[in-house]
Chains A and B, each alone.
Chain A
């Protein structure tokens, strides 16, 4: 008798199926474009609908999960990386996407970002960087440039801003890219490459806050007279011109490119293969379980109790 596999016909994952609440962002906010790019990537990749998880902390951009019709969680300020790490480490069947802003990621959540990167937890983190606190209406953010006038720095920001790319590479993130919300195709490429990367992958998206920092990223937008300079990655084709291209596995080269003055470069700065915590813990679990040769949980605990008699 032939076994007949019952395969449920999956409905195609369309933008309609992925759309949830209408975004609460201000008209013209750069985050709309990030959302559109994310829909497009999901439509293109056709992942099983129930296996996509969209998570976020707090901030304008962290409202993201409400606008995507997937399983999601809207967590507390700055702690989305460990929340997402818990989901990723315990559920290898899921595709974990994390969204947030510069305050959530680089300021209140800065420590978690470092350790998520160091541990190389498998997830994709899209940071919509607008150089300002938008939800709380214009305070200085960790990426606000020196001289930016905010409600907390009325005469101009004085503190050295974070360089997100350097911070991430130094922390041990294994995929670090930068893009611009006005460049939909480039943004999609970066998100797709990030999700294909087996490890802690981060995409910084310059996403304009039209309300509190209008024009912040015009210098990177050709339609506003700026320049959008894409990193020329090595093709490893033995051509003489390849020598001059960027080797994404070269940490020092990544720092050099990240030092280019604003608006800087766009593309993949750093990408290396390093075992994920998911894989390392999985290996440890498999080894621990192998020693018990398929014993039940009850039998394992009973053995422990027998030793405590």
Chain B
């Protein structure tokens, strides 16, 4: 709610949520970073820590910067009195909440009470807050909304005093000329709504963290648009159902996290061979195997690009921010349709659960028409013509010459008949590969952030966008020559990267995966293989946490 308030106040916001993978719950952390102007990462250190329980105090006090404020529930938390570098503010949150609400609510509402406290401390817009609370609980009975408002009022009324050692004041967001409205959501929501805008009306999936909420949203939303999302019996069934939808003429989506993508990989190979369009979302988590199901990692890049059997081209994109999750879905659908190919979208658990506010997309210009093309096909239709990109005739399409196509995972001739011809296998393999080469030509060359030449270029992909850009901005303020390049299209790579690399003394690829046997992370290895450029170095980490700006600067400038 704090995030949504900031979004509505034209303040930039970024959150980071950590939920343990235990069913019974356990400590959840929710970070919110708010700023006037652009907020790029969730921040390295906290200015303000709210602790409801002793264990959360003990686990997280080290995140608080020196001089930071600890707001704690004095009914449950005993802070270490020797830690004099912090400002300690004890409020009997539990007691006061019970007192304020009385009755059966017990201490439910503590978090809303704290929101009231925070609103007071940070001079936040209480009217907007109250409206948000009413909206948030509008589905429930009036009592619940009233109780929540009472908790908020009680918190707001508590005489907490001026506890801030620094003055925080959020400038009302620049009321920009365009006055673009902001929408606030997490990465999985942005992805799901991006798919809907892209005209994707069908899909299938199987539950797995952190992908599940994408399928939950699509399952509820798609019927409104006349579409359907099916929960399948397993990952293999999910990708096969999705391919059934796509074969039927409706570009479909399936998704998972790394382990589930492994299960889908045979069918993705079929999509490459049969040239059926398909969107596959991988919300990455720490691996391999069950790995770190609720932590972040970017270790599925190889899987996305090379995870198939045989020469099985597929396009691979990665979302940079929550906002980009929306737009990357549109780009994936565009590529899948135009090139009749599987497209893999890489997101990760930090984007999936992070809430950001961003400019409302212009849906009028973005919405895609999902209609299947069942117009009769003329005489001489060849499903796999060698000289142009495959465009299928879905079932239901009348074929004027009476010859009906079979799409197939066997190597085939132009009509789809199986063939063992060595010449045809070579020609068809090249045809499938050429699609991605054509795609590479139309991808825009990414813009360098910072000077177009200099000492070092930081190359990133996926959710490291924020911390890398913030690191560059900070370093440049200190006079360091640092620039950044972010790759959204990972396979095929855009043309022109080598020219960019040539203008820097060092190129450092920053990614959340292992440095591998030879000292380079996954993208770094691919870039070195592609450009044979020894300048390309690697900065990696595998602690299951997002990059801190400080880690990047220390790693790069050492």
Interface residues of A (CB under 8 A from B): 11, 17, 20-21, 49-51, 53, 65-66, 69-76, 78-91, 93-94, 111-112, 114-115, 281, 284-285, 287-289, 291-292, 297-298, 300-302, 304-305, 308-309
Contact = CB atoms under 8 A, between A and B. Distances in A.
B434 to A, nearest CB: 24
Contact of B395 (A11, A50, A284, A309): A50
A297 B367 contact: yes
Interface in B1-34: 7-8
Contact of A90 (B193, B233, B244): B244
B247 A87 contact: yes
A21 B408 CA distance: 14
Contacts of B246: 86
A91 B252 CA distance: 13
Nearest to B374: A50
Contacts of A300: 224-225
Interface of B: 7-8, 181-185, 189, 193, 196-197, 202, 204, 221, 223-228, 230, 232-234, 236-238, 240-250, 252, 266-267, 269-270, 274, 360-361, 363-364, 367, 370, 393-399, 402-410, 417-418
B404 A91 contact: no
B398 A309 contact: no
A86 B202 contact: yes
30 contacts: A20-B406, A50-B397, A51-B396, A53-B395, A69-B402, A69-B404, A72-B406, A74-B406, A75-B409, A76-B269, A76-B270, A79-B236, A82-B233, A83-B241, A86-B240, A86-B246, A87-B247, A87-B248, A88-B244, A89-B228, A89-B244, A89-B245, A90-B228, A91-B248, A115-B237, A281-B228, A298-B367, A300-B225, A301-B363, A308-B185
B188 to A, nearest CB: 13
A76 B266 contact: yes
A129 to B, nearest CB: 22
B274 A73 contact: yes
A82 B417 CA distance: 23
Nearest to A93: B396
A246 to B, nearest CB: 31
Given A87-B395, A91-B395, A308-B184, A66 B418 contact: yes
Contacts of B266: 76
Interface of B is mostly: mixed
B187 to A, nearest CB: 13
Nearest to A78: B236
B250 A309 contact: no
Contact of A304 (B181, B221, B370): B221
A238 B197 CA distance: 60
A301 B197 contact: yes
B365 to A, nearest CB: 10
A76 B232 CA distance: 17
Nearest to A16: B402
Given A285-B226, A301-B367, A90 B402 contact: no
A86 B409 contact: no
A109 to B, nearest CB: 9
Contact of A84 (B7, B244, B398, B409): B244
Given A65-B408, A82-B240, 9 more contacts: A69-B404, A71-B393, A71-B406, A76-B240, A86-B252, A89-B244, A90-B245, A300-B224, A301-B197
Contacts of B244: 82-90
A84 B245 CA distance: 9
Contacts of A17: 402
A75 B230 CA distance: 20
Contact of B182 (A70, A87, A291, A309): A309
Nearest to A18: B404
Give the top 9 A-B pairs by smallest Cβ distance, nearest first.
A86-B244, A82-B240, A71-B395, A288-B223, A115-B233, A79-B240, A82-B237, A72-B406, A74-B408
A83 B228 contact: no
Interface centre among A66, A69, A75 (most CB of B within 10 A): A75
B196 A94 contact: no
Contacts of B232: 82, 115
Contacts of B242: 86
Nearest to A303: B224
B34 to A, nearest CB: 17
A279 to B, nearest CB: 13
Contact of B406 (A66, A79, A115, A309): A66
A301 B193 contact: yes
Interface centre among B193, B202, B361, B363 (most CB of A within 10 A): B363
Contacts of A112: 233, 236-237, 240
A291 B220 CA distance: 13
Contacts of B181: 309
Contacts of B230: 85-86, 89, 281
A16 to B, nearest CB: 10
